[in-house]
Amino acid sequence: MVDWALDHVPADPAPSILEVGAGNGNLLFALCEAGFAPGRMCGLDYSADAVKLARAIASAKQREQDAEEHEEDASVKGPGAITFAVCDFLAEDVPALDGVEGTATWDLVLDKGTFDAMALVGQNDQGVNIADGYPSRVGRVVKPGGYFLITSCNFTEEELKAKFATAETGLVYHSRIPFPSFSFGGKSGNVYSSVAFHKQP
């Protein structure tokens, strides 16, 4: 996902990057190390414990960087500048970056297994599948001209296209990240599907 972002999302001007289901923050830390501006990144997770862990890791990484660089302004540009927030993505507004208004403000939205997890939860009390509202929610937070990149081990590329490239989301298929394929019983397939969508300007 980092390589795809480096190839398709210009780092200047600094893009706003949102990860839904950030867990311990490893993907955002990797993007920070690749040169994307940490002050323009936000990682969401419904688990307060996951957010607490991500913040602790960010602080530790920041201390390491500060010790290596001995710069007064190191904290402004290091992993400690990444925002991690507790948020129920389907039910709550995504926190905006400082100085940015509105909800559809993200140049790049990332999902590394969150949609998979939602699909496994099943139905709510009204009998509606929890994951059904996810694609339209993603469409609302991707900025026109922005990208949504999703990696799944439960859905094929075609299934992801059918769910996310719709008139409701405003997203269209852009590209995919190829993974090594395997063959079994005369059929070929991939363990993961990683698909990028673009929101039309």
Check which CATH number belongs to the domain holding 125 and give it: 3.40.50.150
The total number of structural domains in the chain stands at 1
Q: Are the CB atoms for 46 and 19 separated by under 8 Å?
A: no
User: pTM score > 0.85 for this model?
Assistant: yes
Q: What is the mean pLDDT of residues 182-195?
A: 64
Q: Which residues contact 127 (CB under 8 A, 6 or more apart)?
A: none
Q: What is the mean pLDDT of residues 9-30?
A: 94
The tens digit of pLDDT for each residue in 38-90 reads: 999 999 999 999 999 999 999 999 998 888 776 555 445 799 999 999 999 99
pLDDT digits (tens, 9 = 90+) for 131-141: 889 999 999 99
CA distance 196 to 48: 28
pLDDT on residue 75 = 43
What sign for the dihedral angle of Cα 118, 19, 181, 9? positive
pLDDT of residue 14: 93
Question: Got the DSSP string for 103-155?
Answer: S--EEEEEEESHHHHHHHH-B-TTS-BGGGGHHHHHHHHEEEEEEEEEEESSS
Measured between alpha carbons, how far is 164 from 161 in angstroms, rounded to an integer? 5
Domain of 151 in residue numbering reads as: 2-199
Residue 185 has pLDDT above 60, yes or no: no
Cα–Cα distance, 189 to 171 (Å, whole number): 25
Q: Work out the average pLDDT over 166-191.
A: 74
